[in-house]
Amino acid sequence: MGRQAHFYMEREIFIQLAQTALDLGCVILKQSGNKIVSATDTSIITAGCSQYYFYLPQAGELDETLPLGCYNANGNVVIEAGYTTKSSSTVLHRSRLYMMSGYTGENGFVERPECLETLYKKLVRQMKKLTMHIAIPADKISTRLNYYADPTDRSHKIYITDKLFRQLQKPDCILG
C-alpha cells in the first residue's frame, strides 16, 4: 500500500507541478519500452505520454534494469504523477500523485525513505494550490465508463482545474 492523491489537471497545469518537483531536486522520468528516459526540465512532458515519475536522487539509486511503476527498488525512489487524459470528447480520466510504502527485497521489507514522504507532501500541497476542491454530483462520475446514478444524490469532492471544471459543465461530459 502507498499514499495517493487524485486530481483532474490538464497538461499545461501539470507542467507547473512538474516544475515544482524539479525545483525540489527531482529528475523527471518516463518509461519508453524497456528504457527509462530522464530529463532535468519539463520538455519531457508531451501529449504522447501522460504518466511520469519524479525521481529524488537523495532517496536512493535508480536501477535502470528494473521497470518504473512496479513494487521494486525503483518504486521506493520515485513518485508517480500524470495529467488528465480524455478517452473521448466526453470522458475525463483522473490522475494521481502516488508513492509506495515500500517493497519486499531480498532481506525483507524495505520502507520508503523519509525524504520521499517530505517531497510527496510538498507536491500534494502544490497540487491543491493549482486546483479547486469542489463537490461534483455523483451522476457526473463514471465507473469503468458505465454511467451510474447515485440513488442517494450524493456528491463527491474532487480536485480539478478551472478549465476542466468548465468542460465538465457540458451535459455529456463525465469523469472516468
Which of helix, strand or coil describes residue 135?
Answer: strand
Of residues 62 and 141, more confidence is placed in 62
Which among 130, 129, 119 has a CA at the least distance from the CA of 25? 119
Cell matching residue 75: 518504486
Cβ(22)–Cβ(41) under 8 Å?
Answer: yes
User: pTM (2 decimals)?
Assistant: 0.89
Is residue 94 within 8 Å of residue 81, measured between CB atoms? Answer: no
Average pLDDT score over residue span 62-76: 87
The per-residue DSSP string of 20-58 comes to HHHHTT-EEEEEETTEEEEESSGGG--TT--EEEEE-GG
| Averaged pLDDT for residues 24-52 | 92
